[in-house]
């Protein structure tokens, strides 16, 4: 039903003005009653059927301006205005019957002493009201479009920036990685020529294993070595740092202190190459995630099982999930056309975030629930945790690239995680939403299931 | 004879190795320890304190899994046992607001941005250690080569 602002005495107007059988027209569905800007001196009354009015019909991108049906008036604007121009193109959606009046009747005075125009005043007022609604609708539509465009533009700019940055950094990191490896190989050859095999052993230990013991274990081992082997503190420290076990020490012979003092620098050199490489690998991982933010990988889209990608993600996160109760309720058989790797990345991102929110808090009974259900043509995946929640002031901004909720506990990711995730979900025509309060943070991803096996 | 410890807290092992290596020269007279988490550092602080030794300087990474560097420094700052300890924040996240918060809430003495410059890091460490030693009235002669000469001169003149 059409919204009515003023009381229109439709029945009276119809019998009084629209009962002349000579002034009737019939339209078939699809026929055009009026064109935009067409001259019109008729005021129509819809006896039966539905008609839609469009703006810009000729441009090929029509915008629906109104819908009109039984007992509605049409052509109000063009009839009453001086220009007599229709502002929209009116098309019959069904077979229609209309009655009309034209210019001649405008001067008649009825028995009640009121003029024609006065009788139609409520109709005109309603027309004005409808136009106001239309303007509002158009403004809102406009805002939505602008916002979408702005977002797309932002992502495109960021994408270009990221791609450029990734290229430059990859070149730099590539040189560091390769030259580091060359240097390490060269140094290893030199050490190999050393007359004592201990030097090579320690160099390789550093190069291959890095710091194999945690700082806690190193301290423990140090004390152990001081006590059991009666090593001086400095030597014990070196042996612990190099991760030497009892057999290694025995191999150093009668005077391990003297040998260790001589060989430890070789371990440190090996360790330096190891760490150099580890840092370069880390850097290229960061670069890759920046790049993924900008460049969507459309190339590899196959039928992908949603539940399967979630299981894979959980498997990858075995370590951070330690000590957290994970409840997974996954509806099988939901497939869509996607890059499975990207989808796994989405879940990894969300589950890892949840883990970090929980680990930071030392909360009792930390739990994560992952639910995947089908809702019509959509897969709805909800990942919730009982962590402390996202601060309300941060919540509207968490999908922006530079925002991290993990002020504590960011191990890697530059706060890019969620914006990458949104990009992936966007590309799958999906949606991601978040709600959060202390004890319940829920990320909901909705993906259209456009692919059926 | 008292022991003075320099403790570095950094969750990334390679970064920790690099910091420790850059501060290696201080080991001639100080005791240098590395920790990979805030919790580990707190245990070590307790242990050192229980042994009747000093924690002269606590160098701390900013962002770590679990308790952050700032949180650790705030807790240490509140602990009367370590009110004398000098605190240096090593941060890869030196946004203006963040650093202001850190300095205000944790009473951090200095902060250094990553990637750090070795000379600058060593200079800061020498300055903070000199301040610590004179604040505590510890006999400074033995440590002299590892202390900032400007601070030493100023303090000796004042004290004299």
Tell me how far CA of residue A184 lies from CA of A170, A171, A238, A275, in angstroms. 20, 20, 21, 11
Q: Is B15 helix (H, G, I), strand (E, B) or coil?
A: helix
Cα-based angle A278, A351, B91 (whole degrees, multiple of 5): 45
- DSSP letter assigned to residue A451: -
Q: In this predicted structure, what is the pLDDT of residue A6? A: 57
Identify residues of B whose CB sits under 8 angstroms from chain A CBs: 11, 13-14, 16-18, 21, 33-36, 40, 44, 63-68, 71
Mean pLDDT of A115-122: 79
Could you give the strand order of the β-sheet that contains A73-74, starting from the edge strand earlier in sequence?
A24-27, A96-102, A42-48, A73-74
- Do residues B64 and B52 lie in contact, with contact meaning Cβ atoms separated by under 8 Å? no
Average pLDDT rounded to a whole number, residues A50-63 = 86
Dump strand ranges (E) for B12-140: 31-35, 54-61, 86-91, 110-113
Instruction: Quote the CA–CA distance of A431 and A452 in Å, as a whole number.
Output: 20
- For residue A439, the model assigns a pLDDT of 87
Query: How much is the average pLDDT of A243-258?
Result: 85
**Does residue A270 register a pLDDT over 80?**
yes
SS3 content of chain B, % helix, strand, coil (to 5): 55, 20, 25
Classified by CATH at the fold level, domain A302-448 comes out as Heat Shock Protein 90 (3.30.565)
pLDDT bin (cut points 50, 70, 90) of residue B79 is very high
Query: From the centroid of its chain, how far is CA B100?
Result: 18
For chain A, give the mean pLDDT: 82
* Residue whose structure tokens are 């809702």: A375
Task: Tell me if B66 sits within 8 A of B59, measured CB to CB.
Answer: no
**Given pLDDT bands bounded at 50, 70 and 90, which one contains residue A104?**
low
How big is chain B by its Cα radius of gyration, in Å?
15
Q: Is pLDDT of B101 > 80?
A: no
What is the end-to-end Cα distance of chain B in Å, rounded? 24
Task: Tell how many helices (H) and how many strands (E) occur in chain A.
Answer: 11, 15
The pLDDT assigned to A105 comes to 64
Percent of chain A surpassing pLDDT 90: 27
Chain B residues whose CB is inside 8 A of the A360 CB are 65-67
Considering only CA atoms, which of A352, A351, A345 is closest in space to residue A296? A345
Size of interface A-B (CB pairs under 8 A): 51
A409 contact residues in B (CB cutoff 8 A) = 63-66, 68
Pick the range with the lowest mean pLDDT from A260-264, A327-331, A344-348, A395-399: A395-399
Place of tokens 């410890």: B5
- Note whether A211 contacts B13, CB cutoff 8 Å: yes
Query: Could you give the 3-state DSSP secondary structure of residue B13?
Result: helix
**Mean pLDDT within A204-216:** 90
Domains of chain B: 4-159 (3.40.50.2300)
Beta strands in A36-131 (DSSP E): 42-48, 51-55, 63-68, 73-74, 89-92, 96-102
Q: Residue B89 above 80 pLDDT? A: yes
Mean of pLDDT values over A155-176: 78
Detail the DSSP E strand segments found in A56-200: 63-68, 73-74, 89-92, 96-102
> A54-63, B57-66, B79-88 — which one is most confidently predicted on average?
B79-88
Are B66 and A211 within 8 A, CB to CB?
Answer: no
| Cβ partners under 8 Å of residue A331, min gap 6 | A307, A372, A373, A374, A379
Q: Please count the other Cβ atoms lying within 10 Å of the Cβ belonging to residue A267.
A: 25
Residue among A215, A282, A408 minimizing CB distance to B40 = A215
Query: How distant is the Cα of A356 from the closest Cα of chain B, in angstroms?
Result: 8
Show the beta-strand stretches assigned E in B10-106.
31-35, 54-61, 86-91
pLDDT digits (tens, 9 = 90+) for A400-416: 765 554 443 333 333 45
Please report, for chain A, the start and end positions of each structural domain, with discontinuous segments joined by +: 10-108, 166-294, 302-448
Q: Using CB atoms, which residue from B11, B17, B40 is nearest to A211?
A: B17
pLDDT category of residue B41 using cuts at 50, 70 and 90: very high
pLDDT in tens, A347-379: 988 998 888 888 766 667 889 999 999 998 899
In this prediction, residue A16 carries a pLDDT of 84
Nearest by CB to A215, which of B21, B35, B67? Answer: B35
- A contacts of B18 (beta carbons < 8 Å): 275
In this predicted structure, what is the pLDDT of residue A154? Answer: 72
Sheet holding A440-448, edge to edge: A325-330, A367-375, A378-385, A440-448, A431-437
SS3 A150: helix
ipTM rounded to 2 decimals: 0.82
* pLDDT per residue as tens digits for the range A64-82: 888 888 888 888 888 888 7
Domain A10-108 annotated CATH 3.40.50.300: no
């Amino acid at each position: 039903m059409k919204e009515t602002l003023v009381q229109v005495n439709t029945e009276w107007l119809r019998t009084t003005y629209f009962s002349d059988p000579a002034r009737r027209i019939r339209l078939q569905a699809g026929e055009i009653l009026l064109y935009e800007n067409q001259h019109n001196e008729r005021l129509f009354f819809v006896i039966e059927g539905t008609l839609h009015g469009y703006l810009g019909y000729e441009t090929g991108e029509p915008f629906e301006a109104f819908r009109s049906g039984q007992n509605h008036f049409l052509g109000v604007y063009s009839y009453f205005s001086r220009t007599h121009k229709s502002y929209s193109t009116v098309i019959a959606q069904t077979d229609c019957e209309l009655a009309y009046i034209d210019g001649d009747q405008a001067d008649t005075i009825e028995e009640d002493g009121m003029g024609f125009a006065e009788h139609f005043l409520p109709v005109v007022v309603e027309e004005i009201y409808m136009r106001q609604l239309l303007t509002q609708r158009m403004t809102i539509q406009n805002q939505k479009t602008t916002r979408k465009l702005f977002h797309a533009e932002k992502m495109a700019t960021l994408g270009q920036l990221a791609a450029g940055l990734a290229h430059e950094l990859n070149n730099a990191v590539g040189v560091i990685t390769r030259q580091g490896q060359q240097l390490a190989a060269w140094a290893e050859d030199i050490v190999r020529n050393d007359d004592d095999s201990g030097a090579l052993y320690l160099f390789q230990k550093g190069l291959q294993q890095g710091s194999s013991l945690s700082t806690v274990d190193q301290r423990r081992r140090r004390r152990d070595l001081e006590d059991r082997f009666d090593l001086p503190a400095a030597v014990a420290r070196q042996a612990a740092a190099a991760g030497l076990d009892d057999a290694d020490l025995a191999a150093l012979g009668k005077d391990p202190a003297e040998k260790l003092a001589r060989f430890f620098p070789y371990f440190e050199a090996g360790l330096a190459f190891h760490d150099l490489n580890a840092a370069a690998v880390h850097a290229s991982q960061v670069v890759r995630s920046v790049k993924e933010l900008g460049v969507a990988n459309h190339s590899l889209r196959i039928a992908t099982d949603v539940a399967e990608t979630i299981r894979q993600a959980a498997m990858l996160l075995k370590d951070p999930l330690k000590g957290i109760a994970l409840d997974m309720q996954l509806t099988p058989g939901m497939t869509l056309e996607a890059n499975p790797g990207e989808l796994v990345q989405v879940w990894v991102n969300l589950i890892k975030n949840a883990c970090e929110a929980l680990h930071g808090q030392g909360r009792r009974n930390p739990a994560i629930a992952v639910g995947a259900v089908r809702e019509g043509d959509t897969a709805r995946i909800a990942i919730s945790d009982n962590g402390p929640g996202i601060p309300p002031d941060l919540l509207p901004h968490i999908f922006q690239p530079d925002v991290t909720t993990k002020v504590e506990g960011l191990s890697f990711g530059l706060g890019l995680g969620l914006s990458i995730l949104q990009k992936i979900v966007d590309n799958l025509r999906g949606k991601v939403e978040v709600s959060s309060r202390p004890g319940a943070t829920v990320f909901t991803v909705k993906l259209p299931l456009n692919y059926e096996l | 004879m008292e022991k003075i410890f320099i403790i570095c807290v950094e969750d990334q092992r390679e970064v920790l190795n690099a910091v420790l290596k850059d501060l290696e020269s201080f080991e001639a007279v100080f005791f240098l320890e590395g920790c990979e988490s805030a919790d580990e550092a707190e245990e070590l602080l307790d242990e050192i304190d229980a042994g009747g030794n000093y924690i002269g300087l606590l160098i701390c990474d900013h962002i770590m899994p679990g308790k952050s560097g700032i949180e650790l420094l705030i807790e240490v700052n509140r602990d009367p046992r370590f009110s004398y300890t000098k605190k240096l924040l090593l941060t890869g996240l030196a946004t203006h607001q963040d650093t202001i918060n850190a300095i205000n809430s944790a009473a951090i003495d200095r902060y250094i941005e990553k990637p750090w410059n070795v000379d600058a890091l060593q200079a800061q460490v020498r300055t903070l250690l000199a301040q610590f030693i004179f604040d505590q009235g510890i006999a400074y002669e033995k440590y002299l080569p590892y202390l900032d000469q400007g601070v030493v001169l100023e303090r000796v003149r004042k004290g004299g």
